[in-house]
Amino acid sequence: MADSSAPPFRRAVVALSGARTDRPIVALAAEVARQHHAELVGVHVVEIDWTLPLDADVAGRSEDAQRVLDIAEATAEGARHRLETVLLQARDVGAAIVDEASERQADMIICGLPFRRRFGGDFAIGRTIPYILKNAPCAVWVVREAMPEEQA
């Protein structure tokens, strides 16, 4: 049985997607981190199409990408905790998040999962979360948003 007094993480990478799940996962992560004096790193990845060179400055010029980071920082501040933010560009979001967690020796990756259905009604998880779950060198928290009431 795990020691209940041990913090769930010392350093966590919070995967920011720009989706409606960002605020709740940042608030949750900040609350837990504040209680345990842990570090938080918010990572937003801009996926670069294979037709562009990887070093093309797409992310640096993106107002949307900066807005994602600003909202995450403000959310963490509202929970009275600091969130360091990082903007990356990569070919694959999941791989970039796992690499960043490895480089920073994070012991947790926290990501949000919007509730979505594919055409036909099946729940859609996408490809980023399965990649992170399969390849993360640390624990992973996936926080799925609630099912909309009309679908419950």
A 10 A CB-CB count for 17 gives 19
Tell whether the model's pLDDT for residue 124 goes beyond 50: yes
Alpha carbon of 35 to those of 23, 63, 110, 112, 151: distances in Å? 18, 33, 17, 21, 35
Percent above pLDDT 90 for the chain: 66
| Topology given in CATH for the domain delimited by 11-147 | Rossmann fold (3.40.50)
Range from 57-66, 103-112, 124-133 carrying the lowest mean pLDDT:
57-66
Distance from C-alpha of 51 to C-alpha of 61, rounded to nearest angstrom: 18
Q: What is the pTM of this model?
A: 0.87
Question: Assign residue 114 a region: left if phi > 0, alpha if psi is -120 to 50, beta otherwise?
Answer: beta
Higher local confidence (pLDDT), 96 or 145: 96
Instruction: Quote the mean pLDDT of the chain.
Output: 89
Query: Domain map of the chain by residue range?
Result: 11-147
What is the rounded CA–CA span in Å between residue 42 and residue 44? 7
